[in-house]
């Protein structure tokens, strides 16, 4: 499979990419045009000392205590875990991979912030960023379906969210081509 796309989803301690921390990264490589779903990636990170919890986000995760504890049980040191994600992205040698997120204003700025903090070249070029909601709105218009969890996937697990959003992107492309 020739990978052209990567859906990234994060679980974070804040909505502020410069100050909040990433505690889980989930990603799925796929090819939008062929509908092939490829490799997946998942890592949990400890909170770097210079990042913080926003109180409203802490309350959100307190109400999902069991899921949060499952996510963080095998957390890695933040720099090591983040670098493992970047290495996974770069291993195919595709410098033109399209980075997908939902929405663009959340996940990818956190990735850029961590790349800056750890002095790592960001593998996602801004001109290759893709937003799921905008993509779906462009194809479905005002009749855009609500993005719900498919196939029993667990919401707020970064890999499950990334896989779910990948499936929505592929299904939307199939709809555009008249295959769905």
Specify the pLDDT at position 1.
53
Specify the pLDDT at position 94.
85
Contact 78, 104 (CB under 8 A): no
Residues whose CB is less than 8 angstroms from the CB of residue 3 and which lie 6 or more positions away in sequence, other chains included? 29, 30, 31, 38, 39, 92, 94, 97
Q: What is the DSSP letter of 42?
A: E
| pTM listed for this prediction | 0.95
Contact 27, 6 (CB under 8 A): yes
Residues whose CB is less than 8 angstroms from the CB of residue 175 and which lie 6 or more positions away in sequence, other chains included? 139, 140
Phi, psi torsion values for 100, nearest 5 degrees: -105, 145
Question: Which pair of structure tokens corresponds to residue 98?
Answer: 């399209």
Per-residue pLDDT of the chain (180 residues; tens, 9 = 90+): 567 899 999 999 999 999 999 999 999 999 999 999 999 999 999 999 999 999 999 999 999 999 999 999 999 999 999 999 999 999 988 888 999 999 999 999 999 999 999 999 999 999 999 999 999 999 999 999 999 999 899 999 999 999 999 999 999 999 999 987
CA angle 148, 100, 57 (to 5 degrees): 60
* Residue 9: strand pairing partners: 26
Whose tokens are 């999902």? That residue is 64
Which is nearest to 69 in space by CA: 57, 61, 81?
61
């Amino acid at each position: 499979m020739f990978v052209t796309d990567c859906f990234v989803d994060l679980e974070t301690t804040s909505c502020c990419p410069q100050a909040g921390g990433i505690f889980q990264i989930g990603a799925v490589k796929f090819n939008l045009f062929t509908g092939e779903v490829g490799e997946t990636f998942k890592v949990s990170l400890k909170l770097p000392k210079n990042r913080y919890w926003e109180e409203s986000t802490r309350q959100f995760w307190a109400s999902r205590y069991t899921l949060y504890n499952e996510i963080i049980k095998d957390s890695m040191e933040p720099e090591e875990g983040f670098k493992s994600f970047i290495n996974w992205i770069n291993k195919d040698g595709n410098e033109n991979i399209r980075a997908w997120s939902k929405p663009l204003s959340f996940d990818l700025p956190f990735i850029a912030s961590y790349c800056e903090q750890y002095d790592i070249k960001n593998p996602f070029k801004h001109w290759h960023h893709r937003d799921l909601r905008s993509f779906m709105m462009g194809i479905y218009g005002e009749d855009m379906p609500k993005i719900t969890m498919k196939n029993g996937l667990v919401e707020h697990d970064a890999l499950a969210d990334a896989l779910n959003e990948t499936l929505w992107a592929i299904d939307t492309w199939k709809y555009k081509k008249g295959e769905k």
